[in-house]
């Protein structure tokens, strides 16, 4: 069906700069580079997440300039503005990590605030780290103005095929005396060679792939090196594409449908993506008015195999997937097998099937992406578990390499740092289930990622011998037998709060069960004697988040 052409692509900017009474507004725009003729052009905000606090985003100011060139060449007027970013990798394992998930909401709020205030007609948002991407998409979905997302791109591998997770795991190896201080320092100095997001199929590359499959990025935007001509061209083309979206009146909610979210889930399962995708996709869908639930991941996951041999549980890095053609041949494979909805609209103005029409398959010699009939795992690695420990759900990432079930005895910790100390000091032994609680969206607050303890477990050589469960979450770099997002969280009186040392816990990723193997009468008695702890923060942004955040199973949204 032919879409109605928008007669006024300046719907919002005209309210700000048209007419004699808007002379003060125009006067303030001349000093920032506007010329008289620019007031008759659609204004496009370029939301840049540039910052020097992390290598993931240190190059995005240059990408924003490229996107501006594309907007201006296509007949618009680009205006760059900034929003924040923080670094999970730097803050991981510290109190600062509590701000990570909060920053997703701050980013969404700030993009909505600037665009809504300034009257931009369209938006190009450029993100390069875990929280930037869902934060950008949430902001764009709320605004629902013609918009496009650009991924900042992946980093190159470090020396000896290392990355940031290699450094975290080296900490455990050093504590286990399998490497010395010089080896640890060498890994530390060489694992992260320059700009770009963490190099495996961790949360950044997972979310970039999901957003492309969702239709909100240009084809292959998710599979380009951060420093490359392809990424520069992607930015220019995105700037041009947003003018096409303006002219055709295509908005984010036209693209971000339920079927589009199903496509995103399908692609991240095939890639072996991060558990954070569950949290973030639910939050993005909520902003778009789409009723996505955690059980949709189970429904879709029953028919989607894991076929990408990518880190953390696999061998290869995103830069190596880029070299063999990126994500497009994978998506074409899934489409041809009837596993993607080809009729979904995308930011090209075309459907997914039209975008993939001329995509060539991977070369037979490549080993990164398997065929659908020879998968790494025949169904999803993202498991939604339920049971008396998680009546509202929990999320596990089980590739099968660590087995499909684990039964062990609890060792309980009320904060991440205490668990990490116990791991490094040899207080965790084979058969233990490490329980880290009061780290949920409200209890933490902020739902910290547990990369430090899970990496220490790997570095200690306990990867297949212990499990870890938490109402916090996990970095995309985590692997092993881990369960996060336990809901209800401990702070809200979930059963996790009354687990005691020595209690037996069952994790069954085949039947999707997370169970405390204690008589219900005993659990009920413990709960009747439980008292909610005092909140860790009563003022500031963390306190605001704790007051507003919904459960992890609802995306921990604040809106």
What tokens were used for 426?
């040899």
CA–CA dist 437, 93 (Å, integer): 14
CA 137 to chain centroid, in Å, comes to: 11
CA 395/CA 553 separation, integer angstroms: 9
Tokens representing residue 160 in the block: 């000896």
In the 8-state DSSP scheme, what is residue 530? -
Show the tokens assigned to 487.
Answer: 């809901």
Residue of 91, 475, 551, 553 marked catalytic: 475
Stretch (H or E) spanning 255: helix 252-255
- How far apart (Å, rounded) are the C-alpha atoms in residues 239 and 69? 7
In this structure, the number of other CB atoms found within 10 A of the CB of residue 190 comes to: 14
Report how many helices (DSSP H) and strands (DSSP E) the chain contains, helices first.
21, 12
**Cis check: omega of the bond before 445, within 30 degrees of 0:** yes
Structure pTM?
0.96
CB 297 within 8 A of CB 382: yes
Q: Where are the alpha helices (DSSP H) in 315-406?
A: 318-323, 328-336, 352-355
CB 404 within 8 A of CB 513: no
- Strand arrangement, sheet containing 77-82: 77-82, 43-48, 122-127, 147-151
Along the 559 residues of the chain, how does pLDDT read in single tens digits?
A: 444 444 699 999 999 999 999 999 999 999 999 999 999 999 999 999 999 999 999 999 999 999 999 999 999 999 999 999 999 999 999 999 999 999 999 999 999 999 999 999 999 999 998 899 999 999 999 999 999 999 999 999 999 999 998 998 999 899 889 999 999 999 999 999 999 999 999 999 999 999 999 999 999 999 999 999 999 999 999 999 999 999 999 999 999 999 999 999 999 999 999 999 999 999 999 999 999 999 999 999 999 999 999 999 899 999 999 999 999 999 999 999 999 999 999 999 999 999 999 999 999 999 999 999 999 999 999 999 999 999 999 999 988 777 889 999 999 999 999 999 999 999 999 999 999 999 999 999 999 999 899 999 989 999 889 999 999 999 887 888 899 999 999 999 999 999 999 999 999 999 999 999 999 999 999 999 999 999 999 999 999 999 999 999 999 999 8
**Distance from C-alpha of 427 to C-alpha of 452, rounded to nearest angstrom:** 16
Distance CA 337, CA 126 (A): 32
The tokens 């204004």 sit on which residue? 43
What is the Cα–Cα distance from 76 to 194, expressed in whole angstroms?
Answer: 33
Taken in order 84, 89, 91, 92, the sign of the CA dihedral is positive
Is 455 an annotated catalytic residue? no
């Amino acid at each position: 069906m032919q879409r109605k052409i928008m007669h006024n692509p300046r719907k919002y900017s005209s309210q700000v700069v048209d007419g004699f009474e808007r002379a003060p507004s125009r006067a303030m725009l001349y000093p920032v580079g506007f010329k008289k003729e620019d007031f008759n052009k659609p204004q496009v905000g370029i939301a840049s997440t540039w910052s020097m606090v992390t290598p993931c985003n240190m190059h995005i100011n240059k990408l924003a300039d490229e996107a501006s060139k594309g907007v201006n060449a296509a007949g618009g007027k680009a205006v760059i503005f900034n929003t924040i970013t923080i670094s999970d990798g730097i803050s991981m394992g510290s109190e600062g990590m509590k701000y990570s998930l909060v920053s997703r909401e701050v980013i969404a709020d700030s993009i909505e605030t600037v665009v809504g205030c300034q009257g931009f007609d369209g938006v190009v948002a450029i993100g390069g780290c875990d929280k930037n991407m869902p934060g950008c998409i949430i902001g764009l979905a709320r605004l629902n103005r013609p918009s496009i997302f650009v991924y900042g791109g992946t980093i190159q591998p470090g020396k000896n095929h290392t990355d940031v997770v290699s450094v975290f795991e080296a900490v455990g190896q050093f504590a286990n005396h399998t490497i010395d201080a010089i080896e640890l320092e060498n890994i530390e100095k060489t694992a992260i060679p320059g700009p770009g997001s963490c190099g495996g199929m961790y949360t950044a590359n997972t979310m970039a792939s999901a957003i492309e499959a969702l239709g909100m990025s240009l084809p292959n935007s998710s599979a380009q090196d951060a420093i490359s001509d392809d990424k520069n061209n992607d930015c220019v083309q995105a700037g041009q594409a947003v003018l096409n979206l303006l002219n055709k009146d295509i908005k984010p909610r036209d693209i971000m449908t339920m079927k589009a979210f199903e496509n995103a889930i399908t692609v991240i399962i095939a890639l072996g993506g991060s558990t954070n995708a569950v949290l973030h996709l639910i939050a993005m869908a909520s902003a778009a008015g789409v009723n996505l639930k955690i059980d949709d991941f189970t429904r879709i996951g029953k028919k989607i195999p894991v076929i990408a041999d990518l880190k953390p549980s696999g061998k290869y890095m995103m830069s190596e997937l880029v070299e063999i053609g990126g994500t497009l041949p994978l998506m074409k494979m899934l489409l041809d097998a009837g596993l993607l909805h080809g009729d979904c609209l995308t930011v090209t103005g075309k459907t997914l099937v039209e975008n993939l029409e001329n995509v060539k398959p991977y070369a037979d010699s490549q080993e990164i992406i398997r065929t659908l009939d020879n998968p790494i795992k025949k169904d999803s690695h993202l498991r939604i578990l339920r049971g008396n420990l998680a009546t509202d759900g929990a999320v596990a990432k089980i590739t099968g390499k660590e087995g499909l079930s684990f039964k062990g005895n609890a060792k309980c910790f009320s904060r991440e740092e205490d668990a990490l100390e116990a791991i490094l000091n040899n207080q965790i032994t084979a058969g233990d289930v490490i329980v880290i609680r009061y780290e949920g969206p409200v209890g933490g607050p902020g739902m910290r990622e547990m990369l430090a303890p899970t990496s220490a477990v790997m570095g200690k050589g306990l990867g297949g011998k212990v499990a870890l469960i938490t109402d916090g979450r996990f970095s995309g770099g985590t692997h092993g037998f881990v369960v996060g997002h336990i809901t209800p969280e401990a702070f809200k009186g979930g059963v996790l709060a009354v687990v005691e040392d020595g209690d037996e816990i069952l994790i069954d990723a085949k039947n999707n069960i997370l169970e405390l193997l204690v008589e219900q009468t005993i659990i009920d008695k413990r709960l009747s004697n439980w008292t909610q702890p005092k909140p860790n923060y009563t003022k500031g942004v963390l306190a605001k988040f704790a007051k507003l955040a919904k459960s992890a199973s609802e995306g921990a949204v604040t809106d």
